[in-house]
Amino acid sequence: MSSYNGYNLFNSGAHTIYVDGLMVAKKRTGYAGCNGLETLTMGSRGRPVIIAGFLRGASRAVVSALILAIEEQIRDVDYATLIDGDSNSYNYVALDSFVQRGPYKYTADGAVLCQYEVRGRQLV
């Protein structure tokens, strides 16, 4: 069961958590008297994080409440721990954006689905 900041925000429907590789900013330069290149490491830029899937609820109001809860975490939390479905823990994850992908969809059993994508960064 995945969670962010101790809240079960993404488990109402199928979802996937992608944590990409570490990005480091480097500047390489050469100058007179330098035999070769000099490299300056400008620091870590963190790891991109994408959480994508479907929010599922018994009604449109339930799904809207889940969206509001995710947006509240984006707005109010600087960074927190993200735990994926395999119990891998990612510390210092800052969520940046929530995007709804398309309209609400209704299943045969009356449930409401909303496809979404949340983007953020693991601050390493």
CATH number at residue 105: 2.40.30.200
Domain count for the chain: 1
Q: Kindly report the pTM of this predicted structure.
A: 0.81
Q: How far apart are CA 122 and CA 11, in angstroms?
A: 20
Q: How far apart are CA 92 and CA 124, in angstroms?
A: 7
Domain that holds residue 108: 3-122
> What is the pLDDT tens value at each position of the chain, 124 positions in all?
788 988 888 888 889 998 988 888 888 888 877 777 888 888 788 899 999 999 999 999 999 999 999 999 999 999 999 998 888 899 999 999 999 999 999 999 999 999 999 999 998 7
